[in-house]
Structure 1
């Protein structure tokens, strides 16, 4: 009887947990999965209505504008992620291991920076590097020229600079958390044995930081793939990414089927990158367990 009572109690607990899971699952389905399903459905629906076909996908995939937007999205996202990883790693190293006045305040400011909207950072860059910004104003004051030479924010390089500026703290935050767990005794021992700073970073600090680098880099890559505000606020007319293409087709061209097709491609690309990230993390963790064994 005791075994049967225990099984009945476990069954009731399992049923209770399922019931508690229903409200959040229902809310998720209503607010996210259902609209997503409508987007996918619309991507297979012709503009004239009636039935479902792949005409929208064939038309979008055959468009040179879509292929250019896809390439622009990928290379800007990859370039921004690489820049964020290099800059974020260097800045996190300085904040975590180089004592200087204001280091703790700077670390706290990074947490605040994460809450800033992306367009605010872009607006700040426009005040500095825009055609009427501080850099050009200083140039005209010194040389007396009518206009300054700084005019790159409206190009892909301006978008790249804005995204690196905005997304670098998203790499620094997990790195700073990882660096706080590094045993400083290892660094002291390596230094006492004659190891120089680059070797200490490469052999002691970097292995501890790799999981955090992977997590931060993956997050930044996915966010860059879906970034809309930075590209829009820089005014880079020749820079068309997939989110900008969705906006153009839906709002400017009223091509809702084409917009949904591009949106589905963007979603598939983001989910594929997330799946790749999970595989890499699982492989790294398995390798670490084997090495520890």
Structure 2
């Protein structure tokens, strides 16, 4: 009997040409290449350059090479040597620092009450703070004028009951009135991050401290305050920068003797048509704001905030 011979078939390792054939690398479709990340960054960078960097460059250029001629730093020497600039700089700094300290103290106190003192409507008050952040600054100033202005409600009540020719409240047109308006308007910018920080606080720590006999003041000082420091730093730095650049509050209070750096820019550019001097003051104001923000970032990074 003859032995069965094997049927010749396709060699191993070679495609048979049927359905199981491996595709040729040349025939495979090339996968689409993803666009580089730099391409996606071009549109926002272009918008930023057009709307912010280009006008800023024009301001810096006008401060160094004014259209009226002169040396590169003549406008800076003229502005830095003026008494008006020194007074505006001092007024801006002390108002910003004073308002920031007032907002920190008042904001921390109000945040403690809202977060840890149960009272009806606490949640509604917290919601109202979010809405308050959207209000324009001049609206708060107008409200204070209705209350404490020369013809406001407080002066009206005093003159009605006493028969005096005018009321005793005239502080809104002074630096103290501007300070009150800024503290009133910017305090919610401190309360909001504090409430967020307090919501993350472990209440068990408070219960343990209270169980050990610690008084509320000690609990606030040793338990709550350390947890609130990053939020206080964030809110305080934001308020400080915003107060340095605040224009509407000073304008709407009608405080003629209060001249800050933004008001000086307005006066030089609009009232005096001295555009080189206005650009110099604007550059100084921007440099102070950016420097404070950079300092805050360095400090917060080292603190681990």
Does the TM-score normalized on the shorter chain lie above 0.5? Answer: yes
- 1:53 offset after TM fit, Å? 1.1
Match of 1:111 in 2: 130
2:246 is matched with which residue: 203, 211, 227?
Answer: 227
Higher helix share: 1
- SS in structure 1 opposite 2:41? helix
1:1-293 matches, cutoff 5 A? 16-49=36-69, 53-285=72-304
- 1:52 offset after TM fit, Å? 5.0
- SS in structure 2 opposite 1:164? helix
Aligned Cα root-mean-square deviation (Å): 1.1
- 1:144 offset after TM fit, Å? 1.3
- 1:74 offset after TM fit, Å? 0.3
- Runs of 5+ unmatched residues, structure 1: 1-11, 289-293
- SS in structure 2 opposite 1:123? helix
Q: Which has the larger radius of gyration?
A: 2
- 1:118 offset after TM fit, Å? 0.2
For residues 53 and 67 of structure 2, what CA distance do their matches in structure 1 show? Answer: 23
Deviation track 1:12-68 (CA, whole Å, cap 9, x = no partner) reads 65x52111111101111111011100000000123523x751000000000000000
- 1:279 offset after TM fit, Å? 1.2
Deviation track 1:89-108 (CA, whole Å, cap 9, x = no partner) reads 00000000000000000000
Q: Would the aligned equivalents of 1:111 and 1:173 in 2 still touch at CA under 8 Å?
A: yes
For residues 239 and 47 of structure 1, what CA distance do their matches in structure 2 show? Answer: 30
For residues 154 and 295 of structure 2, what CA distance do their matches in structure 1 show? Answer: 42
Match of 2:13 in 1: none
Q: Which TM-score applies when normalising by structure 2?
A: 0.88
For residues 266 and 183 of structure 2, what CA distance do their matches in structure 1 show? Answer: 23
Deviation track 1:186-232 (CA, whole Å, cap 9, x = no partner) reads 00000000000011001110111000000000000000000000000
- 1:280 offset after TM fit, Å? 1.0
For residues 166 and 145 of structure 2, what CA distance do their matches in structure 1 show? Answer: 15
- SS in structure 2 opposite 1:153? helix
Match of 2:6 in 1: none
- Runs of 5+ unmatched residues, structure 2: 1-32
Q: Would the aligned equivalents of 1:46 and 1:55 in 2 still touch at CA under 8 Å?
A: no
For residues 130 and 136 of structure 1, what CA distance do their matches in structure 2 show? Answer: 7
For residues 196 and 147 of structure 2, what CA distance do their matches in structure 1 show? Answer: 32
For residues 75 and 94 of structure 2, what CA distance do their matches in structure 1 show? Answer: 25
Paired residues in the alignment total 273
- SS in structure 1 opposite 2:258? coil
For residues 247 and 169 of structure 1, what CA distance do their matches in structure 2 show? Answer: 28
- SS in structure 1 opposite 2:50? helix
Structure 1 stretches (4+) deviating beyond 4 angstroms?
none
